[in-house]
Structure 1
Amino acid sequence: MRFGFTEEQERFRASVRKMLRSAEVRAAAAEATGADGVEPDARPLYRLLGERRLLAVHWPVEYGGEGRPLTDAAIVAEELVHAGVPDTLHVNTIQIVGQFLLMAGSDEQKRRYLPALARGEGFASVLYTEPDAGSDLGELRAVAEPDGDGYRITGTKVFSLKTRFVDLGLCAARTTPGTGKYQGISLFLVDMAAPGVTVSVIPSVGDEHFHRVDLDSVPVSGDSLLGPRDEGWPLLNEALAIERTGLDYHLKAEHWLKAALDALIDGDQDSAHDAHLERIGRWHGALAADHVLAWEVLTGLATGQVDQVSAAVAKYHSSELAQSIAVWAADVPSPGQRAHRSRAALTLDSAYREAPGLTLSAGTSEVMLQIMAAAFDSIGQEEH
């Protein structure tokens, strides 16, 4: 995709949309959508999607996929959000942990985990962030100490989503302390039902709950190590670039703007509509540019090109845009809509509470700007 989609991509999109319009999927999506701080279990919905082979279409057939290009997986992701499917389990399980397994997992790890994830029978989460380290893995304190043929992991992880619903955690821990901030870090696949794992909810204002995961000498086997020992940081850098397409944030921004337009159309503020027209036009223009940025990254990834700078630009633009739309749209529902708790008002209330975290997850906006600045500085030095 440069500025449009091929006929084959449009046919594929139409077939996905048709499957998602079934009464069974629509009912399950409605049941899985949270509001007012209540977070329902979305796993039954994902099992339906897995039965329809919609969760991991770009994975090899032997691992439960359809062998389609990565760009088709992005089309599915767009249509899932358009159909009202809460996307966090899909992002964490398929787009992050599943993609990490495809990139760095052993053949045995892929055979063991990927088919269940693709069927919607297994779910995964990311265990990186720590209480005193934030998103800076250079301050990582969790340790994995050798124990026979395996390891025992001790530490605390925070701010992971959907963690009480998942079976597998992708955990970053130090295997060789004292070797430097970004050295000696390894990645492990942790059974979330293992002894020593405690998951608790962190109170927050969002409808999706953050979790704290305490790891108390949790046993993991040697074959739970994902990638080479002590080489977690280079793997994380590559995986984060893949994660930062910006598409998921773009879809949130698009969804929230649509809810604001619905509120304006259905509300009792007809005289105020004209005041929003210029702003709405600017939002639509920004969303169109945002979509192109995301798909430029995706198209590159589909051909094996990981461009960290383009990914940083897409992530920065999309997360800042989504946050800005959420803040603006919070004032759109009329008093009557708020009092009667219309669907649009509930959506925009939830968006306002979720928005602050968008410029933090997958790398803060400040980190994205640093990546861009370093690239421009390097270009400037080469020119001189």
Structure 2
Amino acid sequence: MRFGFTQDQERFRADVRKTLRSAEVQAAAAAATGAFGVEPDARPLYRLLGGLGLLTVHWPVEYGGRGRSLTDAAIVAEELVRAGVPDTFHVNTVQIVGQFLLMAGSEEQKRRYLPPIARGESFASVLYTEPDAGSDLGGLRAVAEVDGDGYRITGTKVFSLKTRFVDLGLCAARTTPGAGKYQGISLFLVDMGAPGVTVSLIPGIGDEHFHRVDLDAVAVPGTNLLGPRDEGWPLLNEALAIERTGLDYYLKAEHWLDAALEALVERDPEAVPGDLLEQIGRWHGALAADHVLAWEVLTGIEADRVDQVATAVAKYHSSELAQSIAVWAADIPSPGQRADRTAAAVTLESAYREAPGLTLSAGTSEVMLQIMAASFDSIGQGD
């Protein structure tokens, strides 16, 4: 397990932190942060971060990265959130779609798509979930039919974030319907500005809006098939495991607990009840355990060990913890702080509205528990 960092990593963290605390970055981060149901365009902030070389530090230099380690990338992810940078673009575009391209993309796809992402000029969304296929992607109904040298995709995707701001979608569709629940699925890079793509908002209570994407015979060139045809399921399994480090949920929980403490200090630091102090201590203990879980997963991934059970544990624990802290912290700000819209009160009000979706995205808590339970069921079966 990782309980510390090298001197070089600590120096790197300090440099990243100093850069992110600059007046220019802080102003751009503030402008990109949503509140009270209003979602601003965060692309100018990410163009700034791309120009600073902070979005893809672990990617190879030829694809716009800096050739650093995955550990360094996780350090940047931590410091981005701690500096107040909304992280959804980073999670979706860099950590999910970009990582998928690095893992399964052709050389031509990598050279075409990765450098603009690294520069903060291109953004991506994940198009997996459908109205009748949530966490079980075996229920996919979107179909990709062969059309000359390419395909035409028809179907509906739901609950994607930032979609009206992106130019690229990572889409799962069936290329061989009837092949089996988890067979005949392929992955495509879809131009979100192509004819036949319709993006609409799904009503919700969060500051970040969910979207519905209707695909009506959308033309996709054969060169945008990601990985082998009909072999999307194994790739999805590996990519979903990599996505479930739990680090992003841990950082939300840490941020929200800090906001709760800020609200308490603003009220009267000498008048905090003992039972509240005890609960704060318990939250800090749970966060410490959560951080270790996340870094254990990240350390395994860096060593090319993707443990689906470990990632399920990390995702389950971190999302449930973040949700619990958000619900608990909602009652911390006083009526006066809410009326004055103090920074802490605004953060916690937003957190409360975001919290319900945390245990649904990237795999529901129920699915994570199923993965864990299945691993226990398999113990001893090979003896």
| TM class by smaller structure | over 0.9
Following TM superposition, the consecutive aligned residue runs of length 4 or more in structure 1 with deviations greater than 3 angstroms are 268-273
The equivalences for 1:319-334 within 5 A come to: 319-334=319-334
- Name the amino acid aligned to 1:159: F
Gaps of 5+ in 1: none
The equivalences for 1:145-294 within 5 A come to: 145-267=145-267, 271-294=271-294
Partner of 1:76: 76
- Name the amino acid aligned to 2:219: P
How many residue pairs match? The answer is 383
Deviations 1:273-325 (CA, angstroms, capped at 9, x unpaired): 43310000000000000000000000111111111111111111100000000
- Name the amino acid aligned to 1:121: E
Deviations 1:79-138 (CA, angstroms, capped at 9, x unpaired): 000000000000000000000000000000000000000000000000000011122111
Gaps of 5+ in 2: none
Counterpart Cα distance in 2 of 1:268 and 1:298: 39
Partner of 1:22: 22
Counterpart Cα distance in 1 of 2:377 and 2:213: 39
- Name the amino acid aligned to 2:186: S
Partner of 1:8: 8
Counterpart Cα distance in 2 of 1:29 and 1:339: 24
**Aligned residues: CA RMSD:** 1.1
Counterpart Cα distance in 2 of 1:272 and 1:278: 10
Q: Note if contact 2:173-2:187 (Cα within 8 Å) is conserved in structure 1.
A: yes
- Name the amino acid aligned to 1:377: D
Partner of 1:315: 315
Partner of 1:116: 116
- Name the amino acid aligned to 1:247: L
Partner of 1:366: 366
User: How far is 1:338 from its partner?
Assistant: 1.2
Counterpart Cα distance in 1 of 2:343 and 2:378: 49
The equivalences for 1:119-138 within 5 A come to: 119-138=119-138
Larger CA deviation: 307-316 vs 98-107 = 307-316
User: How far is 1:271 from its partner?
Assistant: 3.3
Percentage of pairs with the same residue: 84
Q: Note if contact 1:159-1:210 (Cα within 8 Å) is conserved in structure 2.
A: yes
- Name the amino acid aligned to 2:84: G
User: How far is 1:370 from its partner?
Assistant: 1.0
Partner of 2:92: 92
Counterpart Cα distance in 2 of 1:225 and 1:40: 32
Counterpart Cα distance in 2 of 1:280 and 1:46: 34
Q: Note if contact 1:183-1:230 (Cα within 8 Å) is conserved in structure 2.
A: yes
- Name the amino acid aligned to 2:54: L
Counterpart Cα distance in 2 of 1:180 and 1:342: 54
Q: Note if contact 1:63-1:111 (Cα within 8 Å) is conserved in structure 2.
A: yes
Aligned-partner SS, 2:157: strand
User: How far is 1:32 from its partner?
Assistant: 0.3
Q: Note if contact 1:268-1:334 (Cα within 8 Å) is conserved in structure 2.
A: no
- Name the amino acid aligned to 2:167: D
**What TM-score, normalized to structure 1?**
0.98
1:60 maps onto 2:65 in alignment = no
Q: Note if contact 1:269-1:334 (Cα within 8 Å) is conserved in structure 2.
A: no
Counterpart Cα distance in 1 of 2:302 and 2:218: 37
**What TM-score, normalized to structure 2?**
0.98
Q: Note if contact 1:264-1:273 (Cα within 8 Å) is conserved in structure 2.
A: no
User: How far is 1:270 from its partner?
Assistant: 5.3
User: How far is 1:380 from its partner?
Assistant: 3.8
User: How far is 1:253 from its partner?
Assistant: 0.3
Deviations 1:338-363 (CA, angstroms, capped at 9, x unpaired): 12111111111111111111111111
Counterpart Cα distance in 2 of 1:95 and 1:137: 20
Aligned-partner SS, 2:235: helix
